[in-house]
Amino acid sequence: MKTIFIKELPGIGALVLFLAAGAAAQGDIDLENDDDRIAYSMGANIGQNLIEQQILDGINLDSFIVGLQDAVAGTVKLSNEELFSAIQMYQQRAQETAQATLADNLAASEEFFRQNAGREGVVSLDSGLQYLILTSGPADGASPSVDEAVLAHYHGTLTDGTVFDSSVDRGEPAQFGLSQVISGWTEALQLMKVGDKWRLFIPPAMAYGTSSPTPAIPPNSALIFDVELLEIR
């Protein structure tokens, strides 16, 4: 499990400050004390999970903290029916927002591919995949088949240039089977030869679609990868 530190998620800092403010009213916490450290860690872990799941997006943190404190104290001011109704309202709003985001992202991706198709050197395939040859390896170089594995360097960004993953930045190429990656990679790598370096433009349907594996890649995002095929294994 990945350890997420508070400084990596600015929203958590705000949440922790609210919690700390409530605790400070009853006495300062001492993180050198085992009991305080345990309690603080539990609170921070809950906050991290809420942020990761984007549950607090658009939520008034003042009211959220009051509700949390009232629940702990047994002084909840709403009936169970009222609580359920409010949660349903939140879920409906979240669903509507998510659907709007999906539609907006897909439209932006489609527009990107329309414009990108006219750029010099860009090749558009029937599948929707586009690529640009950056460097060509030996003409007699081998191409991998779908049941083979390869060693490759890659640098992945969103269309705005935001980097979400990069073996180049890590300084270590990645090994993987062609059947184990997104379909955009599977198709492109079978067209490449060892020594080739291509820039791949992958539409959402050939990447992660509506189900992104990480918040770093919004759903329905077009992805750009610079891929260098090093070896077939």
| Cα–Cα–Cα angle for 47, 85, 102, rounded to 5 degrees | 65
Residue tagged active-site, from 6, 36, 65, 164? 164
165 is catalytic: yes
Any idea which of 15-19, 151-155, 167-171 has the lowest mean pLDDT? 15-19
DSSP state of 172: -
Q: Does domain 107-232 have CATH number 3.30.70.3450?
A: no
The 10s digit of each residue's pLDDT in 4-38 is 333 333 444 445 445 544 544 445 778 888 888 89
Residue tagged active-site, from 40, 112, 201, 225? 225
Residue 121 burial (10 A CB sphere; 0-12, 13-18, 19+):
exposed
Which of the pair, 15 or 196, is modelled with greater confidence? 196
pLDDT > 90: percent of the chain: 64
Which of the pair, 72 or 25, is modelled with greater confidence? 72
Judge contact between 176 and 13, C-beta under 8 A: no
Hey, which bits of the chain come out as E strands? 123-124, 130-135, 149-158, 163-166, 174-177, 197-202, 223-232
Helical (H) or strand (E) element with 106 = helix 80-116
Q: Quick one: pLDDT at residue 160?
A: 96
The 10s digit of each residue's pLDDT in 86-142 is 999 988 998 898 899 999 999 999 999 999 999 999 999 999 999 999 999 999 999
Q: Quick one: pLDDT at residue 195?
A: 97
Residue tagged active-site, from 6, 29, 65, 182? 182
Which is nearest to 163 in space by CA: 223, 107, 209? Answer: 223
28 is catalytic: no
Average pLDDT (51-64) is 83
pLDDT > 70: percent of the chain: 88
Q: Tokens for 99?
A: 């659907």
164 is catalytic: yes
Q: Quick one: pLDDT at residue 61?
A: 86
Residue tagged active-site, from 40, 131, 154, 201? 154
Whether the CA torsion 104, 95, 11, 155 is positive or negative: it is negative
Specify which residues 166 forms β-bridges with: 155
Q: Quick one: pLDDT at residue 125?
A: 98
Residue tagged active-site, from 4, 6, 18, 165? 165
Residue tagged active-site, from 40, 112, 201, 208? 208
182 is catalytic: yes
Instruction: Please tell me the distance from the alpha carbon of residue 88 to that of residue 96, in angstroms, as a whole number.
Output: 12
Instruction: Please tell me the distance from the alpha carbon of residue 186 to that of residue 189, in angstroms, as a whole number.
Output: 6
Judge contact between 178 and 152, C-beta under 8 A: no
225 is catalytic: yes
> What pTM was computed for the model?
0.72
Q: Quick one: pLDDT at residue 27?
A: 53
What is the domain partition of the chain in residue ranges? 6-73, 107-232
Count of CB atoms situated within 10 Å of the CB of 98: 13
Rg of the chain's alpha carbons, rounded to an integer? 24
Instruction: Please tell me the distance from the alpha carbon of residue 111 to that of residue 108, in angstroms, as a whole number.
Output: 5
Q: Quick one: pLDDT at residue 3?
A: 31
In which band, very low, low, confident or very high, does the pLDDT at 57 lie, cut at 50, 70 and 90? confident
Q: Is 131 helix (H, G, I), strand (E, B) or coil?
A: strand
90 is catalytic: no
Residue 43 has pLDDT above 80, yes or no: yes
